[in-house]
Amino acid sequence: MKKTFITMVVLTTMLSCKTEEKKTTIAVTYPETKKVDTVTNYFGTEIKDPYRWLEDDKSEETAAWVKAENEVTFGYLEQIPFRKALKDRMEKLWNYEKISAPFKEGDYTYFYKNDGLQNQSVMYRKDKDGKEEVFLDPNGFSDDATTSLANVSFSKDGSLVAYSTSAAGSDWNTITILNAVTKEKLETEILDVKFSGISWYKNDGFYYSSYDKPKGSQLSAKTDQHKLYFHKLGTAQKDDKVIFGLNEKRRYVGGGVTEDNRYLIISASTSTYGNELYIKDLEQPNSKIVTVVNNFDSDNSIIDNVGSKLFIATDMGAPNQKVVTVDASNPTPENWKPFINETKDVLSISTGGGSIFANYMKDAVSFLQQYDYDGKLIREIKLPGIGSAGGFGGKKDETTLYYSFTNYITPGSIYSFDPKTGTSKEYQKPKVDFNGADYESKQVFYPSKDGTKIPMIITYKKGTELNGKNPTILYGYGGFNISLTPSFSIANAVWLEQGGVYAVANMRGGGEYGKEWHDAGIQMKKQNVFDDFIAAAEYLIAQKYTSSDFLAIRGGSNGGLLVGAVMTQRPELMKVALPAVGVLDMLRYHTFTAGAGWAYDYGTAEDNKEMFDYLLKYSPVHNVKAGVSYPATLVTTGDHDDRVVPAHSFKFAAELQAKQTGTNPVLIRIETNAGHGAGKPVSKTIEEAADIQAFTLYNMGYSELPNKK
């Protein structure tokens, strides 16, 4: 039976001292979503799963449901009076030239450029005389620009290049091989490549990783045995040799060749944290693969080598990371020697120009030091301001390196860096029609439910009155050791222009304070993350940045789970909920694509009864209750998302639509020919961002944009 909501929205005009109130009525008739009697028994508990049929991404019924839901959603969005104005402003602000840092390969200097609104950035090159030409233009890869450039790798002499492409946002890629000088295609593409780098060994061929093609749907079927291959130029893909993963079942396997072509480095793991580490001496034709780390208890990576001396970044016995050295002849941990010791701040490492760069994260902002290969501190690097710096990478013989710098009110700029003198120069500063000086970012530390202090950066226009009526987006992630550091976003800039507040909470489960911070928000401690987010919302309300009537919560992927869990636990706390590409069915997430690899963070419903009970208690799909008034909700996903399959979002939206009480709309916006987010065309990105903000402001009661710029 179809369900109809008459949405009564109080609209307030806020452009003058005069306040007018009027009511508008939008009828929302949800499509009929059938229920099928599907039951699974977990440790003696029967769990109904009436919408499991929506997991079949190949069925005509699912396709019809997607079409019907989109018709309702876009029918609603089209009635928002300022939707087009938001899109136009976003488009205008987005329309500036974006240029990447340059890099040298062979006789050419390469860089990426987007003229402004191009759907995909174009790869250019210059020769020694400065003559510029297009090298790769992904905008021509498909008619609708939904095929994107995923990875580009040159052989050491720059004469050969292999690049991978992603169609419709899928994680499954295709590798094309060219003569880099003439741009001539050399041989048949390498197909069905997933979660892979491309690493050349001399000019002989390259290493890449993939899974066997799954039975059933390539977009949702489980893939859990990753293999590392070597493709020798001039041979067929079917003859590619498996280097690692044939006899060892690992979910993620990667391989890379050191800059001097001496060693193959292999990383293997069963989950998103913890990896085995191996090396193979490529100077010895029949050398065996040698174990460096033989367990999954730590994260380890070989960052460089000087001859047989290996430099390893690790959190083994150092939750905030350290760097050690060891000789490749005897590389196991008992032989490791200290190089850069662990500190109270989280460390990440890059190399280039004959130096090693230690990028520390201090309360989610960057602090950098430069070392030589003897471990001597050369200098602390002065950054342009307080924010996020990235880069400082390149070949050993580079005389100029590049880095980017950004924060919430500063568009990403590129700086050149002289590793000998330590001087930085502005290389490329974007010309954006946004005056960051009019805005400010403030970092606060608020207490979570258990008293843990959580950092949060709040950004808003200077002079904003703290009266509890500011439209506010609270964003979070809280998982997988991922850190949310300050960065500029055009969509967020438009939100700030409208008088909006943008707050980012650096919750447990992330990587902002190292492994201990990460582990405090996983498995049986996952509720800590939700409590941290709830406490962030309560802080913003208590300090009168906003109130429940003007608060939206937003997050994507693991952050989509965050939003789904918090809105079902505390539905009265926010006015709008925006879960994007979320992991929302916690009992079945591990049965799709590479989802089983997330078990370090989540645990699975099959582990034991205690873990099942814990997951069931917060799983968003299973905690939607009839008779509850949930916030206005716009679920977003892509029909080709093979990272977090869209069935999560489908089932959650169906549950909400069936059980919602009150007048708040529950809609799902399903982008076609789109995946988890990577490679999404600019036009689609703008449309989605405008729709999200229009939905948010409209459901907070606005009839016009607060600032008609």
Q: Could you list the active site residues?
A: 557, 676
Please state whether 543 falls in left (phi above 0), alpha (psi between -120 and 50) or beta.
alpha
Task: Name the 3-class secondary structure at 136.
Answer: strand
Question: What is d(CA 331, CA 277) in angstroms, rounded to the nearest whole number?
Answer: 10
Query: 603 is written with which tokens?
Result: 């645990």
| Burial (0-12, 13-18, 19+ Cβ within 10 Å), 601 | buried
Question: What is d(CA 26, CA 76) in angstroms, rounded to the nearest whole number?
Answer: 7
Report in angstroms the alpha-carbon separations of 678 from 558, 590, 684.
Answer: 15, 22, 12
Query: How do 365-371 and 355-362 pair as beta strands?
Result: antiparallel
Question: What is d(CA 462, CA 439) in angstroms, rounded to the nearest whole number?
Answer: 5
Question: What is d(CA 214, CA 93) in angstroms, rounded to the nearest whole number?
Answer: 43
Task: Look at residues 400, 578, 361 and name the one whose alpha carbon lies nearest to residue 486.
Answer: 361
The radius of gyration of the chain from alpha carbons, rounded to an integer in Å, stands at: 26
Question: What is d(CA 452, CA 459) in angstroms, rounded to the nearest whole number?
Answer: 22
Query: 579 is written with which tokens?
Result: 């879960």
Contacts of 188-193 spanning 24+ positions with Cβ under 8 A: 188/236, 188/237, 190/231, 190/237, 190/240, 191/237, 193/164
In the chain, what are the helix, strand and coil shares in percent, each to the nearest 5?
A: 20, 35, 45
Contacts of 409-414 spanning 24+ positions with Cβ under 8 A: 409/436, 409/439, 409/440, 409/441, 409/459, 409/488, 409/496, 410/385, 410/436, 410/488, 411/436, 411/488, 412/487, 412/488, 413/384, 414/99, 414/100, 414/101
The DSSP H or E segment spanning 611 is: helix 609-618
Task: Name the 3-class secondary structure at 503.
Answer: strand
Cβ-contact 271, 251 below 8 angstroms:
yes
Strand ranges of the sheet holding 147-154, from the earlier edge strand across to the other edge: 147-154, 160-167, 172-179, 190-194
Task: Look at residues 230, 225, 226, 257 and name the one whose alpha carbon lies nearest to residue 243.
Answer: 230
Cβ-contact 329, 344 below 8 angstroms:
no
Residue 398 CB neighbour total at 10 angstroms: 16
Question: What is d(CA 94, CA 411) in angstroms, rounded to the nearest whole number?
Answer: 11
Residue 378 CB neighbour total at 10 angstroms: 15
Report in angstroms the alpha-carbon separations of 549 from 17, 396, 704.
Answer: 21, 55, 17
Residue with tokens 């019907």: 68
Q: Which amino acid is at 468?
A: G
Which one-letter DSSP state was computed for residue 549? G
Task: Name the 3-class secondary structure at 309.
Answer: strand
Question: What is d(CA 23, CA 686) in angstroms, rounded to the nearest whole number?
Answer: 29
Query: 305 is written with which tokens?
Result: 């080598």
